Each structure stands twice: as C-alpha cells, then as structure tokens.
Structure 1
Amino acid sequence: MKVAARRGESAWDTARGAGYARTAAATRITRAARVAHSMRCALVALGAFGAASLACPASADELTGTLKKIHDDGVVVLGVREASIPFSYFDGTRTVGYSQAIALQIVDEIKKTLGLPQLKVHEVTVTSSNRTPMLLNNQIDLECGSTTHTVERENVAAFSNSFFQYAVRMIARKSSGITDFPDLASKTVVTTAGTSDERLLRRLNTEKHLNMRITSARDHAEAFTAVKDDRAVAFVMDEPIVYGFKSTDPHPEDFVVTGTPLGYEVYACMFRKGDEPLRTLVNGVIARGQLAGDAERLYNQWFTQPIPPRGINLNFPLSEQNRTLFAHPNDRALD
C-alpha cells in the first residue's frame, strides 16, 4: 500500500503512516476471515436441524494447548493399558475396552473440531506408575484407562467427567479363608504401584495395626499372578479390575472377590492442567453419551456380555451408583 507524504511531513511520519495503514488493513482482513468462519459455522449449524453434536472445525490461529499440539503434530497420542480388563487392554490384536471406546469417541470429536478426518492415532502403553510423568512430559496427550480421579492428583493433572464409579475390594483364593480385610493381618498382600488403592491399603495397615507385608507390583497382571503363585494371599484393587481377572482366569471358581469396601472412587480421563478447550471437548463427549443412554449401552457391552479375546462374560451389572452418575455427569473426586 502506497501512502503519499503530506506537506511538512517527515519521511518517518510517512513510513509510520504506511505501517499503520498496513496494520489496519491486516486487522480488517483478519476480522473479515473470522466473521466468515463464524458465518460458515452458523450456516452449518442451521443445516444440522438440531443435531446433538456437529463441530465446526476451528481455525489454526484459534487453537491452544493440547489441541494445537495435536493439530501441529498431525497425530493424537493416547495412553493405553495392557491388562486393565475390561477398561483398556490388549486382546492379542489391538487395544480394546470400555475406557478405550470412550477414548476413541473423544478422538472422533477431536478430528471434527480440527477438521482433520485423517488424523493419526498413536498408542503408548502406560502403567499406574508412569502414566502421569508421561502426560506431563508430553509423551501422551490423553489417558482414558483405569485412572482414579483424586483430589491429590488434581495438583498435577486435570480430570474429565467421571465415567465409572466403583468400590475398592480384593481378590483371594477361595481356599485361603480370606473374607475381609482384618483377615489380612500379618500376611503378604499385593496391590499395584502408583495407585490410589496402594495409598488406601497402607493407611488401613497403619490405622488398624494389621502388620501386613504389602508388596507393590508393576501392573495389575503382575499383582494377580502373585496371588495365583501363592506369593500373596490377596490382591487389593478396584472391584471391576479384580472381577475381570477372576472371570478371565482358566479356573475362576478358585477365586473370590471379597471384603467390605475400603472406599468408593471414580475413573476419569486424564489430561494436562489448564487446558480448558480440551476439557470442554472431552466433557462434552462423556456427558452426551451418558445423558443419551449410550454410556449404559457401552457398559452392558463390556460388563454383561461376552468380551474378547475369549468371550468371557464378567456378569457385572450396572450399579445404582453408576446409574446415578450417568444421570448427573460431573467431574468431582470422591475422596
């Protein structure tokens, strides 16, 4: 844009005036582009005739946080589990499960929001011990497995609306005679390292003076193996997890899930703190599914019907606590 000097105006004034003019013109163009983008979104929304969810792709300069990272990298990185049956586990071919299905619904919404239908999905296996450090180090973008939302964990990570509520109990050999937590006094007990259950178990041991010998396994499968090999009398963990191991064992009749619940907790997806755009997207996916009845159908698929790879049925009907959660989506920790 050429700006002629007025009489008595210095070359600097002339150049500065040209700069202002260019800036103003650029601003007008940017505003016009944003208005056009908004109008396109509005027209798409009007054409949706009340569709429950129809995201208009965000423009690149509007993106922040994890969504911007995913857009720039061209890939979303999911943290997945190997043996959190039936939430997130490897079935011999791929990662499947109740939580994994929710994670993939979120990925679909990210694709719509970014306007990237061919967005790549990369899975990284995480454990209870390393999932948070991997999130904070940007090695994963989102983790929807069997991670408990606790108040303490809110200091380092953010959590979505809860997608499952459960009790903390234990699995033991039926022949052991173990029926409740006082029976574990002076015995070797296993749990999974880095879990909220480990904290609850150690607190119980201290407060009730049970003198348990507590060992912390690397993952759930290793912990259950300790019970099977008689290296521990019980595996203390989330009730649905231990039901999963019992149901999928070649000899489920040899084990019992027992114990007065140590407490009730909730699972949620985990992502980085301060990322409001991602929080809004993830919570929208979970809440819509719960209120529309999709969450209950998904629950029945994984907890009351045969699941891969061996077609075992966990026979774990929907609890009243989960029914209430689905009716009132929220992101509150229970501890």
Structure 2
Amino acid sequence: MRYYLTGSITGLLAALLLATTAQAQAPAEGLSPTLAAIKKAHMVKLGYRESSPPFSFLDQAGRPIGYSLELCEAIVEDIGIEVDDPQLKIEYVKVTSDDRIPAVVDGKIDLECGSTTANAERRKQVAFSPLMFVAGTKLMVPKTTAGTAPTDFKGKTIVVTKGTTNEQAMHAVDKKFNLGLNIVVSPDHEQSYQMLVDGKADAFATDDILLSGLIARHKSQDKFRVVGDYLSYDPYGIMFRKGEPQLAAVVERAFRRLGSNRDLIPLYNKWFVARLPTGERMGVSISPQLEESFKVLDDSAGGTN
C-alpha cells in the first residue's frame, strides 16, 4: 500500500514537473505565435517594397525608407513593450505585390510595410492595421495622350502590376464596357512604369498616389500625367498575420499612441507634403477622410482637441 501511495505521489510530482516544464517551454509566456517568435529571435521582420514611393522605397544608398516603414517602426516599439524586449532588432525583407500576402501568411515577415489595400477578400487571409491612407485606381498616360476615361482606350494596351487590386479593377472595367483591352502584367511598379516609358503600353493603371510618386521620383512631370476618375477604392493598411488578437491589439495600440500624440499628421506631411529624402516632392495634402480617421484614433485614445 505504501509502495503504491509513494508511486502515486511520485507520479503526481512527475506530472507536475512535466506540466511546469511544458509551461516554461510554452511560447514566450503565453504570447501569440508571432510575438513569441519575435521574442525568441529578438527581431521583427519588416516587409518592404522597392518602388512604392512615398510608402516604401529605397533611398540613394539602397536603404528601405518611407511612410509605411515609419509606421511599422512605431509598431515595433509597442511590440518591444509587449514582449518585454525594448532592444528588438529589425530585419528588412524585400517583398513584391505578388508575394507579400504569402510572406505574411508563411511567417517570412511579421509586418508588411508597403502600399497594400485592406479589402474583404484579403482579410480572409491576413489582418490589417487601422486606416493609414486612401487611394484608388487611375491611369498614367503620356502627356500627348488625349484620352482620360477607360472608354478612350478601347483596344489599347494597359499595363498593371501583378497581384494588385488594380489588375482586378481593369479587368472589371474591360468587361463592363466591352473594351477589348490588352491588359499586360509586370512584376513590380518600376517595371510597369518602364513599359510605359518604352512605349510598350498606352497606359499604366495603379493607385493614383503611387503613379504620382513614380512621376515625382523620375522627375517626369513633363512626360506623363495621371488622368481619369477613380476606378476602385483602395484603403491602405499595415498587413500582419490573421487570428492573433494579441498582435492585433499591439498594432492598434501603436496607432492610437501616434494619434493621441498628434504624430500621424506630421508624419503624413513629412512623406506627402515636404521634400522627400531622395529629393522629390509629392505635394499631396491629407484628404478629409484620412484626417477624420486619424482624429478618431486620437479620440479613442482619450485625446482632446
């Protein structure tokens, strides 16, 4: 009897020890999977785009810079607080419009800091931060082009960037108006722009702000212009993994902190109104819709006007 009692106690102690060990080995003290991986690596992986000024692009030294990257770096500060590691390092990982969503889903990056539309279809796979910009599909054309509406380009060649909502928008317009467009796809915005420069396309369709950014970056205001009505509505957000409420709360907390400190509008002006580090100037004032969105963040954080 004594043997079995002792055995039971021994077994209980062993079970408790295993439970304690398992708890100690659990993902970083109950952190969500992404935050646990960040804590373990002491590093956050930020996805950036090479040619999406002023959101995410390269400076003269080839370093990733931009509005979206600054927002992500602010989120990293709050992640550091959440995982109790204020010295988190940042690894910058290049992504494209085509592979950015798989990069988030597969854990190649923790935050995608580009110019990504937060729509219902994408929300099935990933999560998004609060609104950081509002754009829409328009056309970039040579200044010698008279047409401005999609119907003016019947039978013409339109280049789009692979994996973008603009590609879907142009196919929808083509079908709606029976235009017989030749819609060609390139790997990134820079190559789409180059197709227009080389005369291989009659127009380049993507978000209006990105078109303006490319024109400013290449100093080609005398060669190209952005025309037409909006062909889609594209609200931008920082993208991260879906199904992690703790990570979502950290991202939202970072935006509320920026809103309550009145940092969002100065940050916007730095990248859209003032001269960029690469020399060009966008000159795009904040829209009333985005300004109101930032104000809501301020109010939700307890700010006062």
Matching residue of 1:108: 77
Following the alignment from structure 2 to structure 1, what is the Cα–Cα distance between the partners of residues 19 and 98? 49
2:171 corresponds to:
202
Kept after mapping to 1: 8 A contact 2:45/2:91: yes
Deviation per CA, 1:170-221, whole angstroms, max 9, x where unpaired?
2111111122221121100111110011101111101110111111110011
Matches within 5 A, 1:205-220: 205-220=174-189
Maintained 8 Å contact 1:97/1:302:
yes
Counterpart-to-counterpart distance in 2, 1:296 and 1:80: 22
Q: How does 1:222-301 map to 2 (within 5 A)?
A: 222-301=191-270
From 62, 86, 89, the equivalent of 2:54 is 86
The share of aligned pairs that are identical, in percent, is: 32
- 2:99 counterpart of 1:147: no
Look up the equivalent residue of 1:66 and give its one-letter code: T
> Is the Cα contact below 8 Å between 1:181 and 1:260 reproduced in 2?
no
Q: How many residues align?
A: 293
Give 1:251's aligned amino acid: S
| Structure 2: distance between partners of 1:98 and 1:284 | 18
Say yes or no: does 1:126 pair with 2:118: no
Q: How far is the alpha carbon of 1:288 from its aligned partner?
A: 2.6
Q: Secondary structure of the residue that 1:328 maps to in structure 2?
A: helix
Shift of 1:229: 1.3
> Which TM-score applies when normalising by structure 2?
0.89
Q: Is the 8 A contact 1:129 1:193 kept in 2?
A: yes
Pairwise CA RMSD: 2.3
Offset of residue 233 of structure 1: 1.4
Counterpart AA for 1:139: K
**For structure 1, which segment, 130-139 or 142-151, has the greater mean C-alpha deviation from structure 2 after superposition?**
130-139
After TM superposition, give the deviation of residue 18 of structure 1 in Å: 5.3
Superposed, 1:66-77 pairs within 5 Å as 66-77=34-45
Question: In the TM superposition, what is the alpha-carbon distance from 1:24 to its structure 2 partner?
Answer: 7.6
- AA matched with 1:169: K
Distance 2:232 2:101 in 1: 23
CA contact (8 A) 1:223 1:235 kept: yes
Tell me if the contact between 2:78 and 2:253 (Cα under 8 Å) persists in the aligned partners. no
Provide, for residues 287-314 of structure 1, a one-character-per-residue CA deviation record: whole Å limited to 9, x for no partner.
Answer: 33234421111010001100021x2111
Unaligned stretches of 5+ in structure 2? 21-26, 298-305
CA separation of 1:184/1:145 partners in 2, compared to 1, >3 Å: closer, same or farther? same
Runs of at least 5 residues in structure 1 that lack an aligned partner in the other structure: 1-8, 29-58, 330-335
Matched ranges for 1:30-45 at <5 A: none
**Which of 295, 298, 302 does residue 327 from structure 1 map onto?**
295
Distance across 2 between alignment mates of 1:238 and 1:159: 18
Any idea what the Cα deviations from partners look like across 1:261-291, whole Å, max 9, x if unmatched? 1122211111111111111101111233234
**Contact 2:32–2:247 (8 Å) recurs in 1:** no
* Deviation by residue 1:47-76 (Cα, 9 ceiling, x = unmatched): xxxxxxxxxxxx931212100011122221
In the alignment, is the contact (CA less than 8 A) between 2:166 and 2:232 conserved in 1?
no
Retained in 1: the 8 A contact 2:97–2:163?
yes
Superimposed CA distance per residue, residues 236-266 of structure 1 (whole angstroms, 9 cap, x where no aligned partner): 1111101101112233122111111112221
Contact 1:161 1:283 in 2 (8 A): yes
The alpha-carbon distance between structure 1 residues 20 and 180, as it changes in their structure 2 partners (threshold 3 A), is same
CA distance in 2, matches of 1:168, 1:324: 22
1:181-196 matched pairs, under 5 angstroms: 181-196=150-165
Q: Which runs of 4+ in 1 moved over 3 A?
A: 17-28
Match of 1:317 in 2: 285
State the Cα distance separating 1:15 from its structure 2 match: 3.4
